[in-house]
Amino acid sequence: MTSQATRMPRHLLSMADLDAAGIRTILDTATQMHDVQKREVKKIPTLRGRTIINLFFEDSTRTRSSFEIAGKWMSADTINITGKGSSASKGESLRDTVRTIDAMGVDALVMRHGASGAAHQVAQWVDAHVINAGDGTHEHPTQALLDAYTMERRLGSLEGKRVAIVGDLTHSRVVRSNLISLRRLGADVTLVAPPTLMPSGISGWAERDGFALSNDLDHVLQATGSTKPIDALMMLRVQKERMSGGFFPTAREYTVGYGLTRDRLTRLTDANPEIVICHPGPMNRGLEISADAADAAQSLILDQVSAGVAVRMSVLYHLLAGEDSPTEAAATSEGSAA
């Protein structure tokens, strides 16, 4: 089985931890895990006896809930701890907090933290497997995996597909992980943002890794001559809570220049009726994406949420379950349920 032949890293801290074969292995296993979601009894014994701590120092609905559901559907014991509910709120250092949790003998620590690089640092302090559920403006690897999985289910292979990622690139951890993932899967990626929301030094990264940059959304979305239409459009949330100062004059001006408006949606679907629209959430409806686009037939936003559980089940399986086959575990579960 492919998942057994590919060596997985001990931790998942960055998409750079996975080569193309590793990404492919996780996505293929996620397909099997997705089948579990369709059952009446959503339970397999793969991680029975394992303990997973979800340690979230930032608020989250989708990521934390999907990791909790993923662990429970795989029969792991899952415990949620928030920053406000931990001793960190009393002044305890991050090092002491995670080492205290690790001393209890847990198997995995899923962590979201506001500081870039926090997950990398924690991985050096603990014996448990560490999964980065988002660190500052750095990375969010499982989001990139579920985005690729969702796109592939609708578009097939991403090799040669045109993907545009639009919005607040400076403050986005999603875009950094997606760039690595999509390029390793062979997609042709263009990043679009106003100059004030282009990360410092990204031109060198683009030249090295072979993706395009633009400040003109309408030009990127336009298909003329030899330029093929966009296959997938990912809109990023404008992260007002991370902004200090004015990155654009007004919300209306941002929407006019960089929002997926009803008019842009019409032009996109006319050029390519098969286009897919993604958004990692939460959305600012009416700012970076209109209600028409968010709820359109081409929108995969709820599919991304559903895929999040399957992909995180796959990640937990590959980090914690060793060489046991998820297919065999599922069959065992079905037999016991009968």
**52-80: per-residue pLDDT in tens?**
999 999 988 999 999 999 999 999 999 99
Give residue 226's domain range.
141-303
Residue 248 and residue 319 in one domain: no
262 and 153 within one domain: yes
What integer pLDDT is reported at residue 335 of this predicted model? 45
User: Per residue in 155-169, pLDDT tens?
Assistant: 999 999 999 999 999
Dist CA 67 CA 44 (whole Å): 15
Q: Which segments are annotated as binding site for carbamoyl phosphate?
A: 62-63, 112, 140, 143, 281-282
Mark whether 164 and 285 lie in a shared domain: yes
* pTM reported for the whole predicted model: 0.91
Look at the chain and report how many structural domains it folds into: 2
**Neighbour order of strands in the sheet with 188-192:** 212-214, 188-192, 162-166, 232-235, 276-278
Q: Which residues are annotated as a binding site for L-aspartate?
A: 90, 173, 237
Give the annotated binding-site residues.
Answer: 62-63, 90, 112, 140, 143, 173, 237, 281-282
Determine the Cα–Cα distance for residues 327 and 34; give it in Å rounded to an integer: 12
The enclosing domain of 318 has a CATH number of 3.40.50.1370
Q: Same domain, yes or no, for 152 and 128? A: no
Per-residue pLDDT tens for 6-31?
678 999 999 999 999 999 999 999 99
Same domain? 269 vs 184: yes
Distance CA 171, CA 192 (A): 14
In this structure, the answer to whether residues 299 and 216 fall within a common structural domain is: yes
Shared domain check, 151 and 121: no
Are residues 160 and 290 both part of a single domain? yes
For residues 279 and 320, membership in a common domain is answered with: no
Residues 96, 232: one domain?
no
**Cβ within 8 Å of residue 236, ≥6 positions away:** 165, 166, 167, 168, 169, 172, 174, 175, 279, 280, 288
Q: Are residues 297 and 310 in the same domain?
A: no
Map tokens 């014994």 to a residue. 45
